[in-house]
Amino acid sequence: MKKVIIIGAGLAGCYLAMLLQKNCQVTLVTKGARQDSNSMLAQGGIAAALDPGDSPAAHEQDTLKAGQYHNQALAVEQLVHVGPELVQQLIAMGMNFDRKPTGDLDFGLEGAHSHHRILHANGDQTGAALTTFVQRQLAYVTWLTNTAAIELYTNKGVCQGVLVRDIESGQQRILTADAIVLATGGLGNLYDFTTNNETITGDGLVLAARQKVALKDMAFVQFHPTVLALNNRCYGLITEAIRGSGAILVDEHQTPIMADTPQKDLAPRDVVARRLKLWQQNGHQLFLDITNVSDFTHRFAGVCANLDKHHVPFRKTHLIPIQPGAHFMMGGIQTDLSAQTSLSRLFAVGEVACNGVHGANRLASNSLLDCLVSAQKAAMAIMTLTNLPLANFKYSPTLFVTPKLPTLAVLQKKAWHYLGIERTRIELRTFLIWLKQYNFLQLQPSQLSQKELTIANLCYCAQLIAEAALAEPKSIGAHYLKEEITHESSHH
């Protein structure tokens, strides 16, 4: 039986495990508990052209347009055609999406979609419902929870092993397999304002980068316009579906912030995030006004629970304090349409991968769909692999290098300032010079504590983003370069 190791337990990793479990010996490695993933936090839903009036072609157009036509066209075509079939298979297996009183699926609308095509489960808790449903199907899988993947091992140019560490005991061992799949999510915790689960620290990207695996589109980090912001801290996502249901962005004077832009409050995320940042820089407070959203507490129960937990008096004021936060990585480990990376037998699925489907800006609710599609393609490719004799790797640490690293808080603040919603060439260069004082590239991952490894990995990710942003000569999608001339006057 083929051995497959999947690193990451979000929707992409678990769906792949579900597809392979009967034919392969599958081990799921996750740094936290089973429920620690961004998939569990996904509120919006999953986009699929299943409505009779909708079509994959229309979904494809919306995806390309949001991605500023920087997308890989074949990947988009694959997403919009294969995706609906996979969603229907899950429904047939018993996955419950929200329905209208008539029994028809209740499709929501989100930013930059031309059609109501977002499927929801439990209102705004789709990711948790879907990921939990898939995890419940995992009957023949070995779980390694609280286990970090530290380093990939290759033999004659083929990826066959991974060094893992039990986070509680600190014990390390090498696992070998016929195929290794990275499903580790993005790098949201490079920023202090993020919607991401705390386990999302760019690990998979760095595991690949240290083996010289090709990466792509690392300049494109999506900032979600609306995260709950209280006392300069971020407390989770406020789904875009609320704006799709009639909410608008306002300041403390109730001035509608998006009134004079095309598509208004449902403009692409980069456009909304930049406008909010400008408003904030001009000293304004930012709010989501939910006055016009009917049945708010019933439809957005998850958001309401979070608001109540943080004592936000939204029932009285109809206002939710928000600001943009780091949300999603469009770039990542370059893969083909079967999720194969540039390193033989190393696959990547979900947010850590870049098959080009999202282009320069991800269309809302396409990420859960991509988790399903990329995992299904990976499963098909892995099934066709021949069994190789597995190498016998020995773990042999080299000379110890004392780590010189910034604190996580300092790194996050710098990244927010220099690699954020808007960038300038001068600031990108300044940031790279600042990073040079640290030795994260010289360190042996296996010799670092978990905390040091996290910071080293995020430093590496930050360098990759800054270098890619400098190499991307013009503003496109989520990568926005401000003109240098205005830079001097706006710098404080």
Backbone angles phi, psi at 33, to 5 degrees: -90, 175
For the beta carbon of residue 82, count every other beta carbon within 10 angstroms: 18
For the beta carbon of residue 442, count every other beta carbon within 10 angstroms: 10
Q: 117, 165, 269, 299: which is the annotated catalytic residue?
A: 269
Whole-angstrom Cα distance, residue 182 to residue 333?
9
| DSSP letter assigned to residue 121 | S
What residues contact 9, with CB distance under 8 A and at least 6 apart?
A: 28, 30, 34, 36, 37, 135, 143, 145, 183
* AA letter at 451: K
Pairing state of beta strands 147-155 and 46-47?
unpaired
> Long-range contacts for 80-86 (Cβ within 8 Å, ≥24 apart)?
80/49, 80/56, 81/56, 82/373, 82/376, 82/377, 83/47, 83/48, 83/369, 83/372, 83/373, 84/48, 84/49, 84/50, 84/56, 86/372, 86/373, 86/376
For the beta carbon of residue 462, count every other beta carbon within 10 angstroms: 26
Whole-angstrom Cα distance, residue 483 to residue 427?
11
Whole-angstrom Cα distance, residue 417 to residue 428?
10
Asked if 269 is an active-site residue, the reply is yes
Q: Which residues are catalytic?
A: 269
